[in-house]
Amino acid sequence: MCLRLTCITMVHMMTRSVRLPDSLAERLDALAKTTRRSKSSFIVEALEIYLEEREDLEVALARFRDPRAEWVDHDEVRRELDLD
């Protein structure tokens, strides 16, 4: 709901517990303190980035494993694009 310049977005959040190695927890604590951001915001940001990358990787692996996939030789692509 938006009123004038103030927008409020309702986001449903779940709580999860995660065990972190001491060294990682210390780095997170220090960064949160230095930037005055919450540790949760950094964890959410990092997890979003990781999951996007991992999902892309899973799509690529599925295509790679597809027995119906068509493959083109690297040298052939270079010739087709006049890169030689």
Q: What is the pLDDT of residues 41-52, one digit of tens each?
A: 999 999 999 999
78 HSE (CA, 13 A, CB side): 5
DSSP summary character for residue 2 = E
Q: Is residue 14 part of a domain?
A: no
Residue 7: φ, ψ to 5°: -115, 135
Task: Count how many domains the chain has.
Answer: 1
CB 41 within 8 A of CB 47: no
Q: Is residue 57 part of a domain?
A: yes
Q: What is the pLDDT of residues 55-70, one digit of tens each?
A: 999 999 999 999 999 8
Q: Which residue range is the domain that position 53 belongs to?
A: 23-68
- Show Cβ contacts of residue 66 under 8 Å, excluding neighbours closer than 6 positions: none
Q: Is residue 17 part of a domain?
A: no
Report pLDDT for 6: 58
